[in-house]
Amino acid sequence: MKTTLMISKWISLSFVLAFAACGGVAPDGAALAVEKGCVACHGEKGGAIAPIYPNLNGQYETYLRLQLVAYKSGKRVNAIMNGMAKDLSAEDIAALAAHYGK
């Protein structure tokens, strides 16, 4: 009886933890931009560090999201950005576009 109770408690705790780990919490775009290295070229707020890199601030969120989707799929071709977008999840892309876009 006691064991059954403990097992059922353990199971419900695992569900709570699994939910928290699997996107129960939306990724933070600003932190993700640092983690993924975007800030190295596009800056923390989207003001590029050099004229050879595009500014992302001032662009619409939807535009940025669609560009990242296109880089990921290879529809838009750029050696740097195809590599950067390759491993981004749909949630990452949405969070990064929301962070940099307006």
Q: Is the dihedral of CA 11, 17, 21, 23 positive or negative?
A: positive
80 belongs to the binding site for ligand HEC (CB under 6 A): yes
53 belongs to the binding site for ligand HEC (CB under 6 A): yes
CB nearer to ligand HEC: pick between 13 and 40: 40
Q: Return the DSSP state at 87.
A: T
How far is residue 102's CA from residue 13's CA, in Å, rounded to a whole number? 38
Interface residues with ligand HEC (CB under 6 A) are 36-38, 40-42, 53-54, 56, 59, 64, 67-68, 78, 80-81, 84, 96
